[in-house]
Amino acid sequence: MNIDEATPAAMNGTAEPSSTDTGAPPSMGPSSSNKNFSSGTMGTTGGTTGASQPASSGRTPSEDRSSTESANASDMPSHLPKPLMGSAGGQLPKSSRLPMYFGVAESNGRRNYMQDRHLLMEDFQPSKGAALKERCPEVRSLAGVFDGHKRHEPAETAAKRLPELLANEPAVFGPAKQTSSDEVFAAIKRTFRQLDDEIIEEATQCDIADCQFGGSTAVIALRIGNVMYIAHCGDSGAVMACTSYDLHFPLRLTTDHKPNRADEHARIQAANGNIDEQHNRVVSEPKPHNGRVTLLSMSRCLGDPQFKEKDKDVVDCTPEMRRVELQPGDFAIVLATDGLWDVLSDTEVVTVLQKVRDQREAIDEETSKSGAEALVQQALRKGTVDNVTAVVLMMDWPEP
């Protein structure tokens, strides 16, 4: 995560603003590679395991492969793939209880602190106060990754409060056949906005000047039966690993929110925001207590009140969202912070996961855990500087 500070005068020079993130490189020897490394698992029940190879998918690397929608169709970015419905690769389990296993791993990287947070909920249930007309039979699960900057508290609040807020949304828990994607998208959008308000309120209540700044990215995966809803703001991202016959390939599910992305650049300018074009940063107004400005490397995130004004946010919290119908051959979804994506390509991520699958006789929670660990270790070997967190959701399709 890149967040810098500089004086307005310094920005007129040619020197790169110095980052507030510093730390010594970790030792990469075998005995110390796990020094700042931790992992965990979580599994979703509901089927047998043991398929050593995923079924062949109807997806191909050269075509648009998933349904993409936004809370408002007119807001759909032009860079995202157009909808593709249906599958040529097999039948979905009729029970909508496709076994899915969750694993997570994380590392400080070269930092002496950890600002990433995550959430894993294999059985995501509505709150007691949710106004449900009818209880749905489909399994619900929720996973997320949050990358804090300046402070860890915004990411911690996001990981704790997002599921609590989303659990109040009836659209998320109603019968899938009677609930439109637009209703689910609207529920997620409301949740992100409520969460943003809470993080900003926490910052404004802090008496220490530096506590009034900071924010977090967010990328979540909400499972409703055999449909995944992906939502993100910032530069934490998601990729799906797919198989078509003997070909393994990635499907990118998110596009980073950066100031130099054409649509984001135009939005920031329309909000009268300032952009440091040389360093690809959004520039805040000078801080009242020291006159310094904040340079933010992303154009959307939760928190960061210095970039937000009522009804005219320079840095927006509105998530981009995508609906993906799972197909046989879709064997994993990865949610990760930029500490992973900065050093690993999408194709490398799929290759690492496929090697892990090939080494195991069955697909289970240990496979997902091993996949997440392998991704983080590979990011460390490739020299990642930042905190890195990887959540792996691995599917176990029945034999065709």
| pLDDT of 209 over the 70 cut | no
CA distances from 113 to 23, 81, 116, 270, 364 (A): 9, 37, 9, 36, 31
| pLDDT of 46 over the 60 cut | no
| pLDDT of 388 over the 90 cut | yes
Cα 338 to chain centroid, rounded: 10
Alpha carbons 266 and 272: distance in angstroms, whole number: 10
In a domain, 219, yes or no: yes
In a domain, 267, yes or no: yes
Rounded to an integer, the average pLDDT of 210-239 is 92
Give me the number of domains the chain comprises: 1
pLDDT at residue number 101:
95
Alpha carbons 23 and 111: distance in angstroms, whole number: 5
Global confidence as pTM: 0.79
Rounded to an integer, the average pLDDT of 322-350 is 97
Compute the mean pLDDT over every residue in the chain, rounded to the nearest whole number. Answer: 79
Of the spans 10-19, 111-120, 212-221, which averages the highest pLDDT? 111-120
pLDDT at residue number 131:
58
When pLDDT is cut at 50, 70 and 90, the band that residue 129 belongs to is low
SS3 state at 309:
coil
In a domain, 274, yes or no: yes
Rounded to an integer, the average pLDDT of 225-241 is 97
Contacts of 396 (CB under 8 A, 6+ apart): 47, 48, 49, 50, 51, 98, 99, 100, 101, 362, 363, 364
Residue 124 burial class via C-beta count within 10 angstroms: exposed 0-12, middle 13-18, buried 19 and up: buried
| pLDDT of 210 over the 80 cut | no
User: Considering only CA atoms, which of 87, 52, 108 is closest in space to residue 361?
Assistant: 52
In a domain, 25, yes or no: no
In a domain, 69, yes or no: yes
Residue 115 contacts residue 151 (beta carbons within 8 Å): yes
| pLDDT of 371 over the 60 cut | yes
The residue ranking higher by pLDDT, 54 or 233, is 233
pLDDT at residue number 159:
98
Of the spans 83-87, 116-120, 284-288, which averages the highest pLDDT? 116-120
pLDDT at residue number 146:
98
Which position has the token pair 């981009």? 320
In a domain, 346, yes or no: no
- CATH code: domain of residue 187: 3.60.40.10
Q: Which two tokens stand for residue 276?
A: 């440091």
pLDDT single digits (tens) 271-324: 989 999 999 999 988 877 777 888 999 999 999 888 887 667 899 999 999 999
pLDDT at residue number 2:
61
Rounded to an integer, the average pLDDT of 156-168 is 96
User: Of all residues in the chain, what percent carry a pLDDT higher than 90?
Assistant: 55
Per the structure, the complete domain to which residue 132 belongs is given by: 3-10+50-74+112-329
